Structure 1
Amino acid sequence: MSHDAVQDGEGGRQGGSAVGLKPNAIGFVDALVIGLNATSPAYSLAAVIGPIVALVGIYAPGVMFASFVPMLLIASAFYYLNKVDQDCGTTFSWVTRAMGPWAGWLGGWAITMTGVLVVGSLADVAVSFTLLAVGLDSWVANDFVRQLLTVLLIIVMTGLCVIGTELSARVQNALILAQVAFLLVFVVVALYRVYAGTTGFDSIEPSLSWLDPFGAGGAALTGGLLLGVFIYWGWESAVNLTEETENSASAPGKAGLWSTVVLLVTYLSVAVAVVAFAGTAFLAENAEEEEFIFAQLAGDVLGGWDWILLLAVATSAIASTQTTIIPASRTALSMARRQALPQHFGHISPRFRTPDVSTWWVAAIAIVWYLVVNQISTTALFDSLTALSLLIAFYYALTGVACAVYYRRHLTESVRNFVLIGLGPVVGAGLLAWLLVRSVMDMSDPANSYSGTSWFGLGPPLVIGIVISLVGVILMVVWRLRDAVFWQERPGVADPELVHATTAKPADRKER
């Protein structure tokens, strides 16, 4: 970590808490698992497979492959920025250093709000699929029971986050093993039945041509990317734990990169199995079912063992309920340490060495959001999730640009630096900025929302995104007027010594 980074971090810790986060609490594998679980693979795939197939047909796996590209490029930005600044605030800290406090604050706000928007939905899905797996279907239809259990699950998973990062990692390791095992069983059985001709659907034998993202045409690819890119969101949770990870300068960044690769393999294998087994017609016709498409297919693929697939989605959502709290709480902690938020949010539990105050605050706001939105309408929660893509695209793109800007004096030192630290992240940021614009255009039409209703002449997801952004700007200005310390920071560049130490080849390091 740079000298400035240490100075800022320590000053913030003294202001917000007498202790810091627990160093070396987890290793590379733990960080990798947390990065994977934060994306909620089974749930994410179940939610988008139908809509993507409705757009591109058999080329759904190809669209998922194309969606991987901008995520990998942004993961490269996270890797190199973490090399020179190991701060749990990730985007907030890096963008502040590269582009100034105003952009940094907005990046931090976007990350925090993503946790608020999605935690309730994830817990709701976890509860619903667990109840379906144990045969309590009637409880799923009972709004009071389902919402009560959802709130209890959020409280339990938040408690695990507070009790300790090591305990969280152990829980996540168990959940990822269960999830991968369940999905593997589904893939193997589904493909076996396809080749055996016992599916009962208009099954299709897989082909390598399915991996062509342009097979369905450019317009269809654009629509597919709007859905596909965001199923990779969440892997950066591994990097948010950088201050608590062994070998923090490299392990968290590598965990983030490898998370995207493992996700790609997972998504492609399950997508191929689903499309091959059910055929495109069934998936397109049931696209509106979203994650419950897996509930429909579970019995057809696995018969009496359908609970296996239901538990795959349930464990996926349970794991993500916990890990999605991590980026939001760590970002709030980092912002408080730099006096970009009230120092109360920077408190760290002396016993557990975790950011207890910010973690409980994120959970509390997420619970309130979940309950209030559910009272508005049955589709308002889904509209709020759609708005999530705007925030994700914004802070990912911001991080990609920040990487090139922060390293700008070192991009021409080698082809490797130019491609991996400069060009790649900027291209990734450009792709996400383009998707952000397309999303805004799409969401401006009320007919494209879940509810189909108009809020102020626009689609509800866009209104939600605009309101969240405006609230962020207002809070930022108010805090600037109240406490100007954070806004005294000025943009800088990466420390040359750190850059050369982290980008040097192994042979060069030995010579040094």
Structure 2
Amino acid sequence: MSPAPHTPRAARPPAPSGARIKSPALLLAESGADLEGHGLKRTMGLFQLVCFGVGAIVGTGIFVGLSDSVAEAGPAVVLSFVLAAITCVFTAFSFAELGGAIPVSGSSYSFAYATLGERVAFLVGWCLLLEYGVSVSAVAVGWSQYVNELLDSLVGLQVPAALSAGPGDGGVINLPAVLVVMMAATLLVRGIRESAGATAAMAVLKIGILVAFCAVAFTAFEDGNLSPFASHGMAGVTAGASVAFFSYIGFDAITTAGEEVRNPRRNIPIAIMICIGIVTLLYCAVALGAIGALGADAVSDKPAALSLVVDQVTGSSAGGGVIAFGAVVAIASVVLAVMYGQTRILMSMSRDGLVPRVFERVSPRTHTPVANTWIVAAVFALPAAFSSLDVVVNLTTIGTLATMAVVNIAVIALRRRNPELKRSFRVPLYPVSPVLGVGFCVYLMYGTGWTTWVQFAAFLAVGALVYSCYGRGRSRLVSSAATDPAGPVSPEA
């Protein structure tokens, strides 16, 4: 495919005041353009994309976070997973339409830029630092817990607490968490084909491990363990759904691969729907199996709950060791996929001048953003080394839900602004579906608690300040009709 024409950086005039909305045609032209002389390569097919999505989703949330969801909702955690899934499905419809219409690597950030303007787009990108960046830290902390579980089952040893947990968890520094971040970065800089291949292999393995867990757990299933079913009422189901939603974070990472996917208009919407379906079935089956085997009280507040279930059902530590191995692989694949998404978001923001230009540079040898990847790895290895998992989960969840609410709004805005745009997938029951998507997102945000809201408000305020002081004045948004295939950028207030 020959690169699309683009406007050289030096020739781009200052962006206009106001909302600074960038047209979808310009986004597509820029993504196809070779901005630095070395563009991204389209090497991912549908199977690899589905595996990438599953790889981005299934990890810490189910292997580590299940116990927290059960503590909130009891056996009704199954309803919590369904409620979280419904929220994801409505938003997945919106992602599918936008990902098919604007298949670029910026995901939610680019969608907001094309519909709601630069300021909102920057804040969405800022929130994605929580979803992709901070969640890397949370996932890495969960990986460290299962590394110790695996070592204990294999050789009867563990990494000392001082070196495998942050200060909030009774340690000094979490070295395994730093290690998994650096391993993921090493693989990412080698090339997308290698990364996608590794993610596909790990996704297939962890699905197999979870299916095997269900097979073992259901042999000890007892109906009485599900009673009382909704022991904490609807409030518990809602709180459990807010926690369980963390288990779904990452499915939108599929849209960050828009510039490296073959036939993206077809494959992105299909991959999103397949991933949500697979993950929801897995989560509900795992939750039912775990609680049915041991009961909610035995599962809640146990960081390595799945290994515990298998150990007690089989009467041997060997089964738990297999689950621990699956968790180590599963969580490592999440780190890999989520770091990939973060680097592509920063790459898109860098193209627009909203973050430093170093984030957009692509290696001529590997066709990957090498400097970007190592910077992301270094920055997010720090909270992984010194933070507790509980500290970052709620903040990551509320930031992700806010971003998803914006995506649902963006579908409506794009339909009104660009009705003629080619769409390979259309949201069903429009506009009811995206409106419900916004409603469910806000509902789960409410369940995170007022403390998280205060933290999130402070986080957004800092983001707005960064945009005003840095991003706005350095924006490279094109304002001339001659440089935008769809006409001039809209300077709406």
TM-score range, shorter chain: 0.7 to 0.9
Change (3 A) 1:276 1:399: same
Q: Name the counterpart of 1:508.
A: none
Q: Name the counterpart of 2:273.
A: 257
Letter of the structure 2 residue corresponding to residue 242 of structure 1 = G
Partner deviation per Cα, 1:291-323 (whole Å, 9 max, x = no partner): 322233231123232211111221111111111
Aligned match for 1:118, one of 135, 139, 156: 135
Letter of the structure 2 residue corresponding to residue 142 of structure 1 = A
- CA shift at 1:191, angstroms? 1.0
Letter of the structure 2 residue corresponding to residue 179 of structure 1 = K
Query: Is it true that 1:428 corresponds to 2:445 in the alignment?
Result: no
Query: Is it true that 1:185 corresponds to 2:216 in the alignment?
Result: no
Q: Distance in 1 between matches of 2:427 and 2:44?
A: 32
Query: Is it true that 1:288 corresponds to 2:310 in the alignment?
Result: no
Q: Name the counterpart of 2:25.
A: 3
The 8 Å contact of residues 56 and 253 in structure 2, kept in 1 or not, is answered as: yes
Matches within 5 A, 1:31-430: 31-41=49-59, 43-135=60-152, 138-144=157-163, 147-194=174-221, 203-204=222-223, 217-283=233-299, 287-289=300-302, 291-302=303-314, 303=316, 304-371=318-385, 373-374=386-387, 379=388, 381-408=389-416, 410=419, 419-430=428-439
Letter of the structure 1 residue corresponding to residue 462 of structure 2 = V
Query: Is it true that 1:472 corresponds to 2:463 in the alignment?
Result: yes
In terms of fraction of residues, the more helix-rich structure is: 1
Change (3 A) 1:208 1:96: farther
Secondary structure of residue in 2 paired with 1:188: helix
Gaps of 5+ in 1: 195-202, 445-460, 496-512
Query: Is it true that 1:28 corresponds to 2:56 in the alignment?
Result: no
The 8 Å contact of residues 75 and 226 in structure 2, kept in 1 or not, is answered as: no
The 8 Å contact of residues 132 and 140 in structure 1, kept in 2 or not, is answered as: no
Secondary structure of residue in 2 paired with 1:243: coil
The 8 Å contact of residues 93 and 427 in structure 2, kept in 1 or not, is answered as: no
Q: Name the counterpart of 1:18.
A: 37
Change (3 A) 1:348 1:192: same
Change (3 A) 1:216 1:244: same
Partner deviation per Cα, 1:408-462 (whole Å, 9 max, x = no partner): 3659xxxx957455321221122102322342xx242xxxxxxxxxxxxxxxx55
Change (3 A) 1:73 1:209: farther
Q: Name the counterpart of 1:509.
A: none
The 8 Å contact of residues 115 and 366 in structure 1, kept in 2 or not, is answered as: no
Q: Distance in 2 between matches of 1:226 and 1:77?
A: 20
Q: Name the counterpart of 1:507.
A: none
The 8 Å contact of residues 204 and 279 in structure 1, kept in 2 or not, is answered as: no
RMSD of Structure 2 on Structure 1 (CA): 2.9
TM-score, length basis structure 1: 0.80
Q: Distance in 2 between matches of 1:318 and 1:428?
A: 30
Q: Distance in 1 between matches of 2:54 and 2:177?
A: 22
The 8 Å contact of residues 131 and 396 in structure 2, kept in 1 or not, is answered as: yes
Change (3 A) 1:420 1:19: farther
Secondary structure of residue in 2 paired with 1:244: coil
Q: Percent identity?
A: 18
Secondary structure of residue in 2 paired with 1:227: helix
The 8 Å contact of residues 56 and 224 in structure 1, kept in 2 or not, is answered as: yes
Gaps of 5+ in 2: 5-23, 166-173, 487-493
Change (3 A) 1:481 1:44: closer
The 8 Å contact of residues 362 and 370 in structure 2, kept in 1 or not, is answered as: yes
Q: Distance in 2 between matches of 1:360 and 1:253?
A: 30
